[in-house]
Amino acid sequence: MMNTASSRPSEQVLLQRVRNQLIDYLEVASSFVEQQRYQAKSPQLHVPTEIIEQWADWVGPDWREGFKEPVFSRDELQAIEKFHMIWSGLSQRLPQPMPSLEVIQGEPMWEELRRAAALTYACFLRTGKMSESVEFVPAPSSSGATVHAGIMIYAKDAQALAQFYAAVLQLLECTQESQAELGFFVLQGRGIELIIHAIPAAYAAEIQIETPPVPREDSALKFFFSVHDLKHAGDVAVEWGGSISEQVWEAALYRYCNGIDPEGNVFQLRQYH
């Protein structure tokens, strides 16, 4: 805790501030739209360079020694490890000097970095930012995540659809239950479980997926999810191959809009007041 005899924050509080900076970084790195907004706000900066160099500023060679629980969960540390490996490989392959943001956003390797950042960002948002003055105390651990409801979606490309929902809804893959080799992915977060199950190949071959996606009109179901930020979730959905209605409605307790995932399934996003 903070020492009342001193204005200096504790080591844990300092680490919580680093965590918050990482979340701010990942929000920009995970979205082409946010990158464009950043560039518009700061025209004097070269945003691609900032995205590469800022990660190096926060995640140095010895980051594993400094990033500890309870500020960083084990899932978050694993997510950092995965993103760092992708960032490290791509940073060495990027052209020097790097082109403008508009040009580099058309490069496959920049899209790979964005997608990796989106999955890492989704992992961090499960807990979100921490206080910059008071030490975080985690809730007592339980035997597992409490799941109150679940949905199973059959998909032609199960892995791509799982990545879409993980990024848009900030869900985390349950690796103990997922079986990627069988096209079976389990995502969890905020009391729900979303299972993406591959359609048998014989039937999948007959399914045509259009770009942009066309809504399936033969389903009697439309599921909905709550998100922290309706606008950001919509931007992420578009960047991962879905589409979002421009119409936003107001209800007594929340704002909401409809969306379509990359395979045409219709869903609704809600942001509670």
Arithmetic mean of pLDDT, 78-84: 95
Tokens for 245? Answer: 């209605």
**pLDDT per position as a tens digit, 220-265:** 888 999 988 898 889 889 989 999 999 999 999 999 999 999 999 9
How many helices and strands in the chain, by DSSP H and E? Answer: 10, 9
Task: Give the pTM.
Answer: 0.70
Q: Give the model's confidence band at 102: pLDDT under 50 very low, under 70 low, under 90 confident, else very high.
A: very high
Question: For the domain 151-272, what is the CATH code?
Answer: 3.10.180.10
Residue 204 has pLDDT above 80, yes or no: yes
Q: How far apart are CA 116 and CA 8, in angstroms?
A: 35
CA atoms within 13 A on the CB side of 132: 5
Name the residue with tokens 């359609």: 199
* Gap between the terminal Cα atoms of the chain: 32
Tokens for 93? Answer: 């392959």
Q: Give the model's confidence band at 140: pLDDT under 50 very low, under 70 low, under 90 confident, else very high.
A: low
Q: How far apart are CA 261 and CA 273, in angstroms?
A: 25
